[in-house]
Structure 1
Amino acid sequence: MESLGVSKNFWSGRSIFLTGHTGFMGGWLAAYLIHCGAHVHGYALAPNTEPAFFDATGLQSRLASSVLADVGELDQLCRVLDQAAPSVVFHLAAQPLVRYAHAHPIETVRSNVMGTANLLEAVRRNPGVKAVAVVTTDKVYRNLERAEPYTEDDELGGRELYSASKAASEFIVDAWQHSYLNEQGKGVATIRAGNIFGGGDWAADRLVPDAIRTFSTGQPLVLRNPASTRPWQHVLDPLRGYLVLAERLVNQPKQFSGKWNFGPDVQDCRPVGDLAHLLAASWSDGARVETQASDSVFEERLLALDSSKAADRLGWIPHWPLETGVEKTVQWYQAYAAGADMWDVTIRQIEAMELGRAGA
């Protein structure tokens, strides 16, 4: 890990506060941190899918603490964070689904905007926190349907509720950073990753879990927008970047605070249909893909990220091409279906990512 920029010495024994640990990405981040020797204190709502990565891996038994609560409750959030006494805070708790946001706009804004404000206020009130990383999304950019990837300096915006709520949360971070956290010497970053996938995601209205569900029943996967291009990446690639960045935020807060993209190589910004067919080929067993006319809510059709800042300043580049990420994802779900020890499967995939190779 040292050669890749992630230091086990830095994380070993360190207290970490992680919101959203019961979710898909939050669960993988908790597992990665535990693998590095950190004491992870989780704060989130109960898992909202059945099954869930949190349950499948037995993650709760490996955490230093796990509190099931709402980031909308400021007083409780402050109290739990103070009890954890963390030096690093990762904020992943959010309402992450585009279609759900369209149907539940107020809940989405409350979670994604006010939840972020509450987390930052709790950090402001805790003198022991050295760094906070707020994970938003690649969809924070005002999408101009252009071919060029978006850099951290491009304009933010959103024409649907999910994107708008996450862009708003970026403004909240910027305000707390410049009004309070900079003068306290805390490192502050917002993180924008690509379209994340990997084993253990069972959310509705996401391509990979939808594919796994349909393939498992022998039904075809039906696509609504097969031509939409997204920056696809396995969840472990950006998480490795999050850890490298957080180390720098603690040690050099002024130099590394700010906005960061962690996206895939440009060649992995591919249409939805490409990923669907890769999933079907990897799943095998007669898996197939069909298309039909779309009746979905509005989503941007073209999106790619420029991650040259992370490459130049952190030495971070993606390790797994799309094909490897798909292979690892299908292996995870098939192992789960076979009754395997999913903590062991998860850790072996983390170790494979650390080595930068496809083998487990």
Structure 2
Amino acid sequence: MLDKSFWQGKSVFLTGHTGFKGSWLTLWLSQLGAKVSGYSLDPLTNPNLCELAEIAKCLRSDTRADVNDLANLQKAIAEARPEIVFHLAAQPLVRRSYRDPVGTFATNVMGTAHLLEALRASDSVRVVVIVTTDKVYRNVEWCWPYREDDQLGGHDPYSASKAACEIVVASYRDAFLREQGVAVASARAGNVIGGGDWSEDRLIPDVVRALDAKTMVIIRRPQAIRPWQHVLEPLAGYLLLAQKLWHSPELAGAYNLGPETKDAATVRQILEFASRIEPGLQVEYGDGNEGPHEAGWLSLEIAKARTLLGYRPSWGVEEAVRRTMIWYRSQRQGESPLTLCQTEIEEYEKELMALSDLAI
């Protein structure tokens, strides 16, 4: 169960706070009473949730800098004196990684190494959660969900960079940070959807742009299967993981924080769910051969997180799509993005409470 009292007054350092997931996590931490210091580049899209939800007001400090700037990172961490660190800063897009492989490796691998190196000089940090991805596994297109001890790898530069990031994390944990009393974990989430994402080459943002422009959305690989989940599901996992590591640092390691296996769904299914909320959605399906290579089948096994952390996804894939489409429609109709996010967080917390009561 998410322990609200645990977060009250905690000093938290969050990289990537201007991004989609980072904005949601900053807001949630603020509502929990944490003192959040952010470190990130400026938002990459216009519009973006960071500005629309006035995320800067949730921060104790707001540093806009690159994670590859070691001196700046060391300075920001020294000033913030965080107890818990969440590392979300990344180049998160597969197709962009084909256009800029060197930049992708620089941000995702060396950016993580710079953060961990900066933390070696800190005497305040106790817990570090490094966010990677479900795509860290060497995808052999089998029908079984991937487990944390399956082989790492990656065909595209994004996946390969995140797999390499996992190796960097394990090295710093084993060689340096464990001896300093710092518990370091990596968190591998699924395909995250939710209100406030306007990234390029992502399914739901592409759908939203098509709806706004009253145009056709072009789908490259309708039969591709992914572990879809609402953004609050992995964020709850990150928070729960940090809580557990605080009290039980021996649990440090890698964790899948995806949806239940049954909630892996095809792209076509996601669009069918979206069309129930937006019946005017126009879709053109490709034959699956357009563009560079992308995995066809991917799902996650979450038994480790369920057993060791008590992680329990609350919203299935259809509910995740429903809530996401309603968020964008409400925002389009003039409702406050901040209020929409706050309301959704409160509703999700009620779901967590209900699950906890059932477990008891």
What is the TM-score of this pair, normalised by structure 1?
0.96
1: CA distance between counterparts of 2:253 and 2:58? 31
- Indicate yes or no: 2:103 matched with 1:101: no
Q: Provide the identity percentage.
A: 44
8 Å Cα contact 1:22-1:47 kept in structure 2? yes
- State the shift of 1:300 in Å: 0.7
2: CA distance between counterparts of 1:315 and 1:177? 23
- Indicate yes or no: 2:287 matched with 1:306: no
- Indicate yes or no: 2:324 matched with 1:335: no
8 Å Cα contact 1:133-1:188 kept in structure 2? yes
Which residue does 2:130 correspond to in 1? 134
8 Å Cα contact 1:277-1:289 kept in structure 2? no
How do 1:220-299 and structure 2 match up within 5 A?
A: 220-254=216-250, 256-284=251-279, 286-293=280-287, 294-299=289-294
8 Å Cα contact 2:26-2:58 kept in structure 1? no
2: CA distance between counterparts of 1:152 and 1:100? 26
1: CA distance between counterparts of 2:327 and 2:265? 22
2: CA distance between counterparts of 1:352 and 1:324? 13
Q: Which amino acid aligns with 1:193?
A: A
8 Å Cα contact 2:56-2:62 kept in structure 1? yes
1: CA distance between counterparts of 2:246 and 2:120? 15
Q: Which amino acid aligns with 2:286?
A: Q
1: CA distance between counterparts of 2:79 and 2:148? 34
2: CA distance between counterparts of 1:339 and 1:317? 33
- State the shift of 1:220 in Å: 2.3
- State the shift of 1:280 in Å: 2.1
Which residue does 1:170 correspond to in 2? 166
Q: CA RMSD in A?
A: 1.2
Which residue does 1:68 correspond to in 2? 64
- State the shift of 1:333 in Å: 1.0
Q: Which amino acid aligns with 1:315?
A: G
- State the shift of 1:331 in Å: 1.7
What is the TM-score of this pair, normalised by structure 2?
0.96
Q: Which amino acid aligns with 2:155?
A: R
Secondary structure class of the residue paired with 1:125: coil
Secondary structure class of the residue paired with 2:347: helix
How do 1:183-198 and structure 2 match up within 5 A?
A: 183-198=179-194
- State the shift of 1:65 in Å: 1.2
Secondary structure class of the residue paired with 2:125: coil
2:84 equivalent among 88, 100, 108: 88
2: CA distance between counterparts of 1:38 and 1:334? 31
2: CA distance between counterparts of 1:20 and 1:124? 20
- State the shift of 1:289 in Å: 1.9
- State the shift of 1:264 in Å: 0.8
Secondary structure class of the residue paired with 2:5: helix
8 Å Cα contact 2:40-2:63 kept in structure 1? yes
8 Å Cα contact 1:186-1:250 kept in structure 2? no
1: CA distance between counterparts of 2:286 and 2:187? 34
- State the shift of 1:271 in Å: 0.7
Which residue does 1:26 correspond to in 2? 22
8 Å Cα contact 1:20-1:26 kept in structure 2? yes
Which residue does 1:201 correspond to in 2? 197
- State the shift of 1:295 in Å: 2.2
1: CA distance between counterparts of 2:322 and 2:265? 16
1: CA distance between counterparts of 2:23 and 2:271? 24
Which residue does 1:181 correspond to in 2? 177
- State the shift of 1:116 in Å: 0.2
Q: Give 4+ residue runs of structure 1 displaced > 3 Å after superposition.
A: none
Unpaired runs of 5+ in structure 1?
A: none
- State the shift of 1:288 in Å: 2.5
8 Å Cα contact 2:222-2:286 kept in structure 1? no
8 Å Cα contact 1:281-1:287 kept in structure 2? no
2: CA distance between counterparts of 1:331 and 1:272? 19
2: CA distance between counterparts of 1:204 and 1:264? 23
1: CA distance between counterparts of 2:256 and 2:271? 25
Which residue does 2:358 correspond to in 1? none
Secondary structure class of the residue paired with 2:308: helix
28-37 or 131-140, larger mean C-alpha shift? 28-37
2: CA distance between counterparts of 1:265 and 1:62? 32
Q: Which amino acid aligns with 2:105?
A: V
Q: Which amino acid aligns with 1:322?
A: V
